[in-house]
């Protein structure tokens, strides 16, 4: 008897773990090929066309909160990496200085719903809607105010993310109205 683990296959035969792993990898490759690069079972494998990859923001789930906001039927939390948080705490952008290169921010959008448990009417997050990212890199993004942007829409039925937009400059146009604040809308809330 072999020490190699085996698994049942669709036809009832047994496959080794290596064969099963190859079959899973092949299936995932076929899924990605059929879907194009638009979605992936691994959020860190997607990127906006010719632009930022989700993987450039690995760990964003644990970044410090800058502030929260609400836009229409969406609840949003804005988080930032330690480089951006340190800049915020030193007074950027209100002091007229720009964020340093390496500053990264994420805005996580959820659909809003009324809490069923809270004793008074309370709006809480429901399903994930999308995640937006921005990174300051004056070498890569000199043409877009030194910031690169990405939006990834969440598709709950497949538990996947789909890149939105045409590249890392896709958020630049709307951010130009806050050029004087280094293209950043959200102020660091007093705490």
Domain ranges of the chain: 6-35, 43-181
Residue 172 has pLDDT above 90, yes or no: no
Residue 112 has pLDDT above 90, yes or no: yes
Backbone φ and ψ for 87, nearest 5 degrees, come out as -65, -45
Distance CA 4, CA 160 (A): 33
What is the rounded average pLDDT of the residues 112-121?
Answer: 94
Global pTM?
A: 0.76
In this structure, CATH architecture of domain 43-181? 3-Layer(bba) Sandwich (3.50)
- Give the pLDDT score at 41: 62
- Give the pLDDT score at 170: 77
- The predicted-structure confidence for 122-165, as pLDDT tens digits, reads as follows 999 999 999 999 999 999 999 999 999 999 999 999 999 999 87
Q: Is 106 helix (H, G, I), strand (E, B) or coil?
A: strand
- Give the pLDDT score at 102: 98
């Amino acid at each position: 008897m072999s020490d190699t683990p085996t698994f049942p296959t669709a036809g009832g035969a047994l496959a080794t773990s290596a064969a099963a792993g190859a079959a899973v990898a092949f299936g995932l490759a076929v899924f990605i090929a059929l879907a194009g690069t638009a979605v992936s079972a691994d959020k860190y494998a997607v990127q906006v066309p010719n632009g930022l990859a989700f993987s450039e923001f690995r760990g964003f789930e644990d970044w410090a909160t800058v502030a929260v906001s609400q836009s229409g039927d969406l609840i949003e939390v804005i988080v930032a990496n330690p480089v951006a948080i340190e800049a915020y705490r030193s007074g950027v952008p209100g002091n007229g200085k720009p964020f340093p290169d390496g500053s990264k921010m994420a805005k996580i959008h959820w659909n809003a719903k009324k809490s069923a448990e809270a004793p008074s009417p309370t709006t809480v997050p429901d399903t994930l809607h999308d995640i937006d990212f921005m990174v300051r890199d004056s070498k890569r993004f000199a043409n877009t105010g030194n910031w690169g942007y990405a939006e990834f829409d969440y598709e709950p039925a497949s538990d996947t993310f789909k890149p939105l937009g045409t590249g890392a400059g896709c958020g630049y146009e709307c951010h130009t109205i806050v050029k004087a604040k280094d293209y950043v809308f959200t102020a660091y809330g007093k705490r």
